[in-house]
């Protein structure tokens, strides 16, 4: 038996090894993405699965977010006699932050865990090995398609979430102030600038990528049978959410330099 040497402590060593493995996985993803033989059919299938599975939840959450956020903001603005700013204020909040963040957090729970569990289950039942031994590249078939699907679909879902949230805002505003739809739109989008839209798109794309790559990484490296599958699904959600919040802070800081 050999005794194992540690560079720092076992915990730090494991963290560093995990970080390197993760980085290698991302590099492998990009290599396979730009190689030949893209699995287009599987990509479309995954886009449909991600979109379809989250649509109802995002409709409801988006609408409620818009409605409640407007309702909660009203008393503060009323104090200053500035309720006419309400559509504009809430729209900025929805487009800049709420829509991409709410969508990605829902998708981290629903899509990330699903990808982690599916790939984890395939790993522990040797289905990924079966692909490899039949000379089929499992990264190209399983990982590239899922990561690209979430990178493409989550921005679309974010856009849809923003629409649903705006519907919630309009319902609240029109009930309270009897505002027409055209007047509401004018007030709402008066202060939205091109950078806000770009920021929302950049956020949604990076969150989508994060959810896909983390789910695939955790699932692809699952071990220890069904326990490992559960852990992979759970770790996909936790790590995705953690990274999404870090990215949120980073993107806000960077985009603020351009304002």
Partner 1 sequence: MNKVIEIEHLFKSFGDRDILIDASIDVFQGENLVVLGRSGTGKSVLIKIIAGLLTADRGKVNVLNQSLINISKKELNALRLKIGFSFQSSALYDSMTVQENLEFPLVRNNKSMTRKEIDKAVHSVLDSVGLLQALTQMPSELSGGQKKRIGVARTLIMNPEIMLYDEPTAGLDPITCVEINQLINEVKENYHTSSIVITHDLTCAKQVSDRVAVLFDGNFKFKGTFDEVFKNHDPRIKSFYDYNFIEN
The residue from 5, 9, 79, 134 that contacts partner 1 (CB under 8 A) is 134
Applying CB under 8 A, which of residues 72, 129, 250, 254 lies at the interface with partner 1?
129
**Which of 80, 133, 178, 249 contacts partner 1 by CB under 8 A?**
133
> Which one-letter DSSP state was computed for residue 5?
P
**Smaller CB distance to partner 1: residue 122 or 232?**
122
Helix (H) or strand (E) holding 200: helix 194-220
Stretch near partner 1 under the rule CB under 8 A, chosen from 108-116, 126-134, 234-242, 243-251: 126-134
Interface with partner 1 includes 7 (CB under 8 A)? no
121 binds partner 1 (CB under 8 A): yes
Residue 73: CB partners within 8 Å, gap ≥ 6?
86, 89, 90
**Applying CB under 8 A, does 132 fall inside the site for partner 1?**
yes
Q: How many CB atoms lie within 10 A of CB 214?
A: 28
Q: Which of 2, 178, 180, 181 binds partner 1 (CB under 8 A)?
A: 2
Q: Identify the CA nearest to 150 among candidates 120, 200, 113.
A: 113
| Burial of 215 (C-beta count, 10 Å sphere; 0-12/13-18/19+) | buried
- Minimum CB–partner distance for residue 114 and partner 1 (Å): 12
Q: SS3 sequence, 120-173?
A: HHHHHCCHHHHHHHCCCCHHHHHHHHHHHHHHHHHHHHHHHHHHHHHHHHHHHH
Among 4, 7, 9, 80, binds partner 1 (CB under 8 A): 4
Cβ distance to partner 1 smaller for residue 42 or 248: 42
- Contact range with partner 1 by CB under 8 A, out of 19-27, 94-102, 134-142, 182-190: 134-142
Name the burial class of residue 117, with classes exposed (0-12), middle (13-18) and buried (19+) by CB atoms within 10 angstroms of its CB.
buried
Find the shortest distance in angstroms from Cβ 148 to partner 1: 18
Restricting to residues 34-73, which ones interact with partner 1 according to CB under 8 A? 37
Query: In the bound complex, what is the minimum distance in angstroms from residue 133's beta carbon to partner 1?
Result: 4
Query: How far is Cα 59 from Cα 61, in angstroms, rounded to an integer?
Result: 6
Site for partner 1, rule CB under 8 A: 1-4, 37, 121-122, 125-127, 129-136
């Amino acid at each position: 038996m050999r005794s194992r040497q540690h560079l720092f402590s076992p915990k730090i060593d494991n963290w560093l090894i995990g970080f390197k493995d993760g980085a290698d996985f991302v590099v492998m993803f990009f290599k396979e993405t730009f190689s030949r033989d893209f699995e287009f059919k599987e990509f479309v299938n995954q886009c449909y699965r991600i979109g379809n599975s989250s649509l109802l939840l995002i409709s409801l959450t988006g609408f409620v977010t818009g409605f409640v956020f407007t309702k909660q903001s009203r008393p503060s603005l009323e104090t200053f006699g500035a309720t006419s700013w309400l559509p504009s204020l809430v729209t900025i909040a929805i487009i800049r932050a709420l829509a991409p963040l709410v969508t990605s957090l829902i998708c981290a729970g629903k899509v990330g865990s699903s990808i982690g569990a599916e790939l984890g289950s395939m790993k522990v039942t040797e289905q990924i090995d079966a692909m490899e031994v039949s000379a089929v590249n499992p990264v190209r078939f399983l990982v590239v398609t899922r990561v690209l699907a979430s990178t493409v679909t989550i921005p679309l879902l974010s856009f849809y979430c923003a629409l649903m949230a705006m519907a919630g805002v309009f319902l609240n505003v029109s009930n309270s102030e009897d505002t027409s739809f055209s007047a509401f739109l004018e007030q709402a989008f008066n202060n939205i600038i091109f950078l806000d839209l770009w920021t929302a798109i950049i956020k949604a794309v990076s969150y989508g990528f994060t959810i896909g790559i983390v789910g695939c990484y955790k699932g692809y490296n699952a071990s220890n049978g069904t326990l490992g599958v559960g852990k992979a699904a759970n770790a996909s959600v936790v790590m995705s959410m953690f990274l999404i919040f870090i990215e949120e802070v980073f993107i806000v800081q960077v985009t603020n330099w351009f304002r």
